Chain A
C-alpha cells in the first residue's frame, strides 16, 4: 500500500488543483494562483535555504528580474506569454549569476547582508530608471495574449484559463525541485550544509555549488515573477524590495525548511491566513505577528515538519539546529 501512497496522493493533489480551476469561484482561482506563484518562489528559494543553508535577503531582486524581464519583452519584442516568461527567467538567471558571483564568497550573516545590499541596489535601479521601468508606477497593461502554437491558439485572458498555465508551471517546478533534490547536485548541496569542510576535502568547489544553488533558486524566483506579472498585468518596484525578499523566508520557515513540500504548505498558510484575518480586522499585522510568534515558538520544524514529527514520522534532527548558520 505504501508504495502507492505517493503516486496516489500526487494524483489527488493534482485532481484538487484541477477541480479548483474548473469549479472554483473567480476569487478562489485567483487566490490559488497567488499561492502557487508564491510556492514556486519559495520552493526554489528553499533549495538555497533548506538544502544549502544560505539565508538570502535579496531574492526579491530575481523575482523582480523575472517580472520586469517578461514585461519589457512583452512591450518591446513579442507578446507571446511563454516567450515573455522565458525572457523573464533568462533575465533573472543573468542577474543571479552576476549577484551570486559576488555573494557566494560569504556565508551566514555576511551572505545575508550582501544579498540584502545587492537586492536593494536592484530595487533602487528599478525605482530610478524611469524611462525603462516606469519608476514607482511600474509597467502597466501587460495583458495575457493567447498562446499560439501553429494552428491552435489557447486563450489566457480569463483567470480560469490562465490558472492552468500557472498550474502547469507549478507542477513543472515541483517536479524539477524534487528532481534537483534527489540529483547528485542536491546531495552535494545538503552535504555542504551538513559539513562544508568535508565536502571541500572531497575536492568539490564549494563556491561553484553554492553559485549553482543560488542561480537555480534565482531562476525559480524569475519564473514566479513573470507569472505574477501576467497574473496582475503589471510590474511594481516593490517586488524587488527587501520586505518582499522576506516572504519566501517566512513561508519556508512556516512550512518547514527541511521538508520538500514545506514551502508549498507555508505559502498556502501565509496567503489564506492573511486573507482570513483581513475579514475580521484591519489590524491584520497584529494578528499575523501573533500567529507567526506561535508558529516560531511552537512549531520549530515548521508546520509540515512538526506534524510529521508528532505523527511519528521520521524527521531528521538536522531540521532544527544543525548545518545552518546559527
Chain B
C-alpha cells in the first residue's frame, strides 16, 4: 500500500516537472533569432545593459539608465546607427557575479543582444570577461574600475571582447599621488572600503607617491566594511594618528555618511589635506550639498563642468532639462558607450564583433567628457579627468571644483606590458 502511494505521488510530481520543463524548452526561452548572426547591418542594433538597480546603490542604476536612454533616443531621432534602429534593455545586476553572467547570457542568447554594457562591480567585470569571449560579444564596461580587467583579462589573457570607457583605478590611485606630491603634506592615512577596490587604490597611491616624494610616509589605515553607517570609530583612528593628509576612496552613500560624521567630529579642521578620488561623483556632491567642506581634493570618472567646451555644456544642459539632474559620471559613460559603438560600427559597416573590435581599437572619439582614445593593447579608454578643490558656486546648490589640477591619462595610467620597468608612473 505504502509503495503504491509513493508511486502515485511520484507520478504527479514528475508529470508537473515534465510539463514545466517542456514549457521551459518551448515557450519561455525562444531560440536565438537568425539575424543575430547576420554580418550586415539589418534590423535593430540591440544593446543589453546591466547595472545595479536594487539595494543601497540602486541610485547608480538610475543614473546609468538616464545616460543610456538619452543616447538611444537621440540616435533613434536621427538615423540610428548606420540606419538601423537602436534598442536597449536594462537589467538589475544585483552586484553579484553569477547574476551578471546570467544577465549577459540572457541578453545574448535569449534577447539577441549585439552589444553589452554597464557593470558596476569589479568582481562582476572580472567574472564576465571569459563569458564575453565565449558569447563573442563586446562588453563596454562603464563603471567597474579594477585595473585587473584590462591588464590581465584583456591584455594578458587576450580577451578582446572587453572594453572600458570609464577611468580605472589609475585615476583614483596614481593621479591622486601626482596631486599629493605638490601638497605640503608628508604623512598620509586612509579610511577606505574594506574590499579590493579600496585596497588597490590605497596601494597604488602609496607606491606612486612614495616614488614621487621620497619623504612621504603612510601612518594609519582604517578599513570600513561594505555598508558601514557609522564611521566614528574610523574617524577616531585617523584623528589619533593625526596625519597631514587623508586619502579615502569611500564612495556613494558611504562617502556622504563619512563626510557628515567627519564634519561633526571636526576632522576637516584638524586635517588640512583631504582627497576623495570619487568625491566629484554627482550623488556625493548633491547628497552633501553645503555640508561638503571647502578645499577638499575631489575627482571622479567625469565631472560635469569639465571640459568647459560647447559640446559638454550643451550635453549637460540637455541632460538637465530632460532629467532635472546634473549628469553623474555613469550617465556620461553610459551615454558615450552608444556613440563609441556608433562610430565603430559605422566605420566598419558591420556589427560583427571581430570587425567592431578592430574598429574600436585605437579609435578616437569626441564625447562629453572630452576626447577618448581606446588604447589598442588593453582596450582602456584614455581620457583626462581633472582633480580639483571644492568651492562654493552660487550657480549650484552644491560644491563644485574650483582650482583644478590636470594629471593627463598618459602620465598616470599604467602602460602595457604592465610588468617590469617603465610600466608604472612616474615614467
Contact = CB atoms under 8 A, between A and B. Distances in A.
Nearest to A284: B92
Contacts of B131: 232-233
B200 to A, nearest CB: 10
A307 to B, nearest CB: 6
B197 to A, nearest CB: 8
A264 B17 contact: yes
A18 to B, nearest CB: 11
A34 B18 contact: no
Interface stretch (B5-13, B351-359, B365-373): B5-13
A12 B97 contact: no
A322 interface: no
A23 to B, nearest CB: 7
B14 A10 contact: yes
B106 A275 contact: yes
14 contacts: A6-B11, A17-B21, A30-B105, A127-B195, A134-B196, A137-B122, A137-B196, A140-B127, A236-B123, A236-B127, A265-B16, A272-B20, A303-B16, A307-B12
Question: Do most interface residues of chain B lie in helix, strand or loop, or is the interface mixed?
Answer: helix
Contacts of B91: 278, 282
Contact of A272 (B4, B10, B24, B199): B24
A314 interface: yes
Contacts of B325: none
B123 A13 contact: no
Contacts of B14: 6, 9-10, 12-13, 261
B17 A259 contact: no
Given A34-B102, A137-B146, A272 B28 contact: yes
A147 to B, nearest CB: 19
Interface string B188-221: 0000001110010000000000000000000000
A28 B29 contact: yes
Nearest to B14: A9
B123 A136 contact: yes
Given A2-B4, A140-B130, A141-B130, 9 more contacts: A5-B10, A25-B109, A137-B148, A233-B127, A234-B97, A259-B13, A261-B17, A275-B106, A313-B5
A5 B92 contact: no
Contact of A138 (B7, B30, B123): B123
Given A130-B199, A140-B130, A12 B13 contact: no
A140 B126 contact: yes
Interface of A: 2-3, 5-6, 9-10, 12-13, 16-17, 19-20, 23-28, 30-32, 34, 127, 130, 134-138, 140-141, 143, 228, 232-234, 236, 238-239, 259-262, 264-265, 268-269, 272, 275-276, 278, 282, 284-285, 303-304, 307-308, 311, 313-315
Interface of B: 4-18, 20-22, 24-25, 28-32, 53-54, 90-92, 96-98, 101-102, 105-106, 109-110, 122-123, 126-127, 129-131, 146, 148, 153, 157, 194-196, 199, 226
Contact of A24 (B7, B25, B126, B153): B25
Contacts of B24: 20, 28, 31-32, 268, 272
A27 B122 contact: no
Contacts of A25: 29-32, 109-110
A24 B22 CA distance: 10
A234 B126 contact: yes
A30 B109 contact: yes
A37 to B, nearest CB: 10
A183 B208 CA distance: 64
A315 B9 CA distance: 9
Contacts, number: 167
Nearest to A272: B24
A224 to B, nearest CB: 12
Contacts of A26: 32, 105, 109
A239 B18 CA distance: 29
Contacts of B4: 2
A290 to B, nearest CB: 16
B27 to A, nearest CB: 10
B144 to A, nearest CB: 10
A26 B37 CA distance: 14
B339 to A, nearest CB: 24
Given A16-B22, A23-B25, A268 B130 contact: no
Given A2-B7, A28-B24, A232-B101, A268 B32 contact: no
A234 B127 contact: yes
Given A232-B98, A313-B5, A20 B13 contact: no
B109 A5 contact: no
Contacts of A313: 5, 8-9, 12
Contacts of A9: 10-11, 14-15, 18
Contacts of A16: 18, 21-22, 25
A300 to B, nearest CB: 17
B5 to A, nearest CB: 5
B127 A275 contact: no
Nearest to A28: B29
B96 A276 contact: no
A20 B21 contact: yes
Contacts of A275: 28, 106
Nearest to A143: B130
A314 B105 contact: no
Contacts of A276: 28
